[in-house]
Amino acid sequence: MERAVRELWVESRDLLGLGSPSPDDTATASAVPRADLPPTPLAFLRDHVSPGRPLLISAAATRHWPAASLWPTASYLTDALRSTAVSLHLTPDGRADALTPHPHPGRPGSSSKCFASAHVRRVDFPTAVGLIRGSDPAAGLVAYAQQQDDCLRGEYAAVAGDVDAHVPWASEALGCLPEAVNLWIGNAHSVTSFHKDHYDNIYVVVSGEKHFLLLPPTEHHRLYVRDYPAAHYVAAEEDAGGEHQLRLKLGVEEPERIVPWSSVDPCPASPEEMAAQASLFPLYFDGPAPIRCTVRAGEMLYLPSMWFHHVSQSPGPNGLTIAVNYWYDMQFDIKYAYFNFLRSLEIDNDGSSGKAGALEGDLEEKNH
């Protein structure tokens, strides 16, 4: 079964024109198709939506946005949102909605890892920007504005008019308007672990760069999606030398909630960790190289629904990475049925296979 699935990886990439280089073959690394101008709705539907093929579009797509020139400046957003309270997500290390060591690994029945969500605090926008710019994993505090509830049209409504309300050619091709439009503000310390979304995603970088690792839905098995107990960070004020400092502690949710999540860390911090990851997750590290894509300021990435993506970022001259994304509801068609069947097949590291006892839960992961 493993051999058949590996052949599927290669054939599906070939059909999409993406290629399947080995992880060490950097000279022929797969690239996302690129367009100098936005496509027509028909071309977008035919060449990208229907086959599920990503597309990177040059800054010509957003040159008319006021945000393109205003948001990268040092003070515009701070002035425009000075009296606005926003939701700021706080973690010790910049890894929200990601796996982390279980806080009580020795307890009976405890997993060695858990799925950790950020602590969310409402602060005024200038304070949020200050905390984002001052984020430091060494100090145990990284801030990221990543509220995913249509926040651009909600708490950031004062600047929503600086970008298009929707992407016209995408809306026409998909036959609907976006369900949510979100604003993301962070810096280089925030990293998003591998996950998928049940949305067609138009992702636009306004300041800085976003670095994507992409895998098609057909490569589900390479990510070793397993069940983990949910946890979240809680805040505790500590008095250090007469100054109050915010400290984050991880608490497991009660009653227990289980989250299916990718077990793979594609960017281990040391050769020793790389060797451990490669041993534990050979389907990822021995398979085709992930498709790499950097989205620069002004550029727009179409990411089809159910594509797995891992995201890191680099700040712009203002010290921030700023992005907007448009989530369009996916079509739950025959491709979704095929995906559910594929992920129901259990493939062990030794190549044996069989039917899984149950399908994984349909968690709609939404973190970038």
**What does each C-alpha distance from 333 to 49, 261, 327, 336, 339 come to in angstroms?**
12, 23, 18, 6, 10
Q: Using CA atoms, how far apart are residues 253 and 230, in angstroms rounded to an integer? A: 6
Contact 163, 65 (CB under 8 A): yes
CATH number listed for the domain at residues 1-19+30-91+123-223+265-344:
2.60.120.10
The per-residue pLDDT for range 35-52, each reduced to its tens digit, is 999 999 999 999 999 999
Number of Cβ within a 10 Å radius of residue 216:
22
The model's confidence at residue 244, banded by pLDDT at 50, 70 and 90, is: low
| DSSP notation for 63-132 | TT-HHHHHTTSSSHHHHHTTT-EEEEEEESSS--SEEEE-S-TTSTT--SEEEEEPEEEEEEHHHHHHHH
184: pLDDT confidence band, cut at 50, 70 and 90?
A: very high
**What Å distances lie between residue 183 and 294, 318, 345, 367, CA to CA?**
18, 16, 37, 12
Q: Which helix (H) or strand (E) holds 210?
A: strand 209-215
User: Hey, is 251 helix, strand or coil?
Assistant: strand
Both structure tokens of 290: 């992930």
Token pair, residue 41, equals 């709705």
Residue spans per domain, the chain: 1-19+30-91+123-223+265-344
- The pLDDT assigned to 105 comes to 77
Measured distance CA(188)–CA(186) in Å, rounded: 7
Q: Which of 122-126, 151-155, 351-355 has the lowest mean pLDDT?
A: 351-355
Judged by average pLDDT, the poorest of 22-36, 52-66, 72-86, 184-198 is 22-36
Q: Higher-confidence residue: 19 or 229?
A: 229
Which segment of 70-74, 90-94, 233-237 scores lowest on mean pLDDT? 233-237
Which among 198, 224, 195, 226 is positioned nearest to 212, based on CA atoms?
A: 195
Is residue 366 predicted with pLDDT exceeding 50? Answer: no
- Helical H segments across the chain, by residue range: 2-16, 41-44, 66-70, 76-80, 125-133, 168-174, 271-280, 282-285, 334-343
Strands 142-144 vs 180-186: parallel, antiparallel or unpaired: unpaired
pLDDT at 349 over 60: no
C-alpha 183/C-alpha 99 separation (Å) is 24
Tell the residue number behind the tokens 């369009």, with chain if given. Answer: 328
| Per-residue confidence band for 104, with pLDDT thresholds at 50, 70 and 90 | confident
- In terms of Cβ atoms closer than 10 Å to its own Cβ (0-12, 13-18, 19+), residue 186 is buried
Q: How confident is the model at residue 361 (pLDDT cuts 50, 70, 90)?
A: very low
Average pLDDT in the 215-219 region?
97
Give the model's pLDDT for residue 144: 98
Cβ(309)–Cβ(367) below 8 Å: no
**Contact assessment for residue 243 and residue 236, using Cβ atoms and an 8 Å cutoff:** no
Residue 280: the pLDDT is 95
262 forms beta bridges with: 225
User: 225-240 and 113-117: which strand pairing?
Assistant: parallel
Largest CA distance in the chain: 64
- Give me the pLDDT at residue 1, please: 86
